[in-house]
Amino acid sequence: MTSAWELLLPAASAPARARGRALREALRDAVRSGRLAAGTRLPSSRDLAADLGVSRGLVTEAYEQLTAEGYLRSGRGAGTWVGDAVRAARPRARDLAPRSSGVHADFVPGTPDLSLFPRSAWAAAQRSVLADLPHEGLGYPDPRGLPRLRTALAELLARRRGVVADPERIVVVSGVAQATALLAGVLHARGTRTAGVEDPGSPQHSALYASAGIGTVPLPLDREGLALAPLHASGVRVAVTTPAHQFPTGIAYSARRRAELLAWARSVDGLVLEDDYDGDFRYDRAPVGALQGLDPERVAYTGSVSKSLAPGLRLGWLLVPDWLADDVVERKRTTDLGHPALDQALFARFVERGDYDRQLRVCQRAYRERRDALVSALAGHFPGARVTGIAAGLHAIATLPERYGPEERFVTRVTQAGVAVRPLAAYGHEGTVAGPAAGGEVRLVLGYAHLTPGRIRAGVARMAAAG
Ligand SMILES: Cc1ncc(COP(=O)(O)O)c(C=O)c1O
């Protein structure tokens, strides 16, 4: 037995009732974290069962479920391999991979509609920026970002998100991922060794902190946001949050919880990282301003154009408290000597001329229509289903009544029918909120923004026929 299988041993000694699930979670974690590398061939179910001292059925079930979720793949003949690790760990990369020919409808969340990218406006901005840019504009940029872009972003974020946005505190980065990595690096250098992450939450956060040498503590949610008692008990002083539209549950942190979270940060002399990943998309609820606007010295705020324009642009922003600003800028400088100047100038022009606001309006209209299509298709095909987290964002949570469960069987069936879905449980760390739903309900995270209303309706119909 290699050390990789030793990773699964604790799961094998879980109490009999929980053993199957513990095994699946341990296997998922091993793939997500890269401890089982992409392409690794797994032992036969018979051998692994013997090594772990569990029934062969449990191993077969775990292999089948993780294959359905995309973590593993099975060959034509016998054999099971670890799937592409990046695809398993990062929803975004997975989404952008070519769709396999057997997938008829892909509800995996994380991707906007890339066909809405404003090509002509972008091309016009590109031409004019190139024509106008003085030669010195092609030198190494200010590591914080071009002053012109930081000024445009400060105005935009203050107006749209209620952010307290001093251009001097903005750092232009290549996305939320880089913002998180820079911040994690700075915090590590200042002694931070653990950070709290939402559970369920984005696997990206844990992976990015891990790469900076910071361990993550999963923190459960309640209906209002991060649950307070576990946060206080955790001992962490840094917490990563998605308050506008929690990923993946879609809840908006309540006003009370926002205040409590900030009070916590002050009481531990800590920091909240606010990932405003889809904060621009609100449909029918009152705008929820950024947490950062309530206490800019306790919140680092980050966002990007990955949902509003395209993730391939690799462009985002980080607003840091004064006490971290110099360290973060220095880290950005040593990482890559600044963000590409032409891209920055282009985006600055795009924002200044109102093209970005226009793009947000176009997306907002399209995504609201798609959300409505999803909600009505689910109501038609899955009577009794509850759909939540729909006031904002690019995905929703569908809770299907017990008769469709158990969840794993449902997911396996619809996957076999060519409908890609992610159960909420796939985003859980320790099965707190994200554990399989009580009583055999099925809880799915359904991304809809990248699908036309027609494809959404067809996909839901296919799911209903299979499930
Ligand atoms: C929770 C969350 N935040 C942010 C991002 C976007 O990261 P980036 O801005 O680096 O593209 C993602 C992408 O999937 C995400 O899931």
Q: Where are the domains of the chain?
A: 3-89, 105-111+358-466, 118-353
49 Cα to the center of ligand 1, angstroms:
37
User: Can you tell me the distance from the alpha carbon of 399 to that of 392, in angstroms, rounded to the nearest whole number?
Assistant: 17
Q: Does domain 3-89 have CATH number 1.20.810.10?
A: no
458 Cα to the center of ligand 1, angstroms:
28
pLDDT at 88: 41
pLDDT at 83: 81
The CATH fold of domain 118-353: Aspartate Aminotransferase; domain 2 (3.40.640)
75 Cα to the center of ligand 1, angstroms:
31
CATH entry, 105-111+358-466, from 3.90.1150.10, 3.40.640.10, 2.40.128.110, 1.10.1740.10: 3.90.1150.10
53 Cα to the center of ligand 1, angstroms:
39
C-alpha distances in Å from residue 363, one per residue of 100, 142, 309, 352, 458: 26, 32, 9, 19, 22
pLDDT at 76: 63
pTM of the model: 0.78
Residues 351, 156 contacting (CB under 8 angstroms): yes
**Which residue lies with its CA nearest to atom 14 of ligand 1?**
92
State the amino acid at position 289 in one-letter form.
Answer: G
Helix (H) or strand (E) holding 229: helix 228-234
For a mutational test of ligand 1's pocket, the pick from 32, 86, 92, i.e. the residue with the most ligand atoms closer than 8 A to its C-beta, is 92
pLDDT at 146: 97
**Which residue lies with its CA nearest to atom 3 of ligand 1?**
277
pLDDT at 77: 64
Binding-site residues, ligand 1, Cβ < 6 A: 91-92, 110, 175-177, 202, 204, 242, 247, 275, 277, 304, 306, 311, 316
DSSP for 356-380 reads HHHHHHHHHHHHHHHHHHHHHHHHH
User: Can you tell me the distance from the alpha carbon of 412 to that of 416, in angstroms, rounded to the nearest whole number?
Assistant: 6
Residues 202, 189 contacting (CB under 8 angstroms): no
For a mutational test of ligand 1's pocket, the pick from 87, 199, 202, i.e. the residue with the most ligand atoms closer than 8 A to its C-beta, is 202
Residue 17 neighbours by CB under 8 Å, 6+ apart? none
Give every residue of the chain whose pLDDT is below 70, as ranges.
1-5, 76-77, 85-101, 285, 430-439
pLDDT at 39: 80
What's the whole-number average pLDDT of the chain? 90
**Which residue lies with its CA nearest to atom 16 of ligand 1?**
202
pLDDT at 3: 52
Residues 460, 404 contacting (CB under 8 angstroms): no
pLDDT at 96: 33
Residues 398, 421 contacting (CB under 8 angstroms): no
Residues 119, 102 contacting (CB under 8 angstroms): no
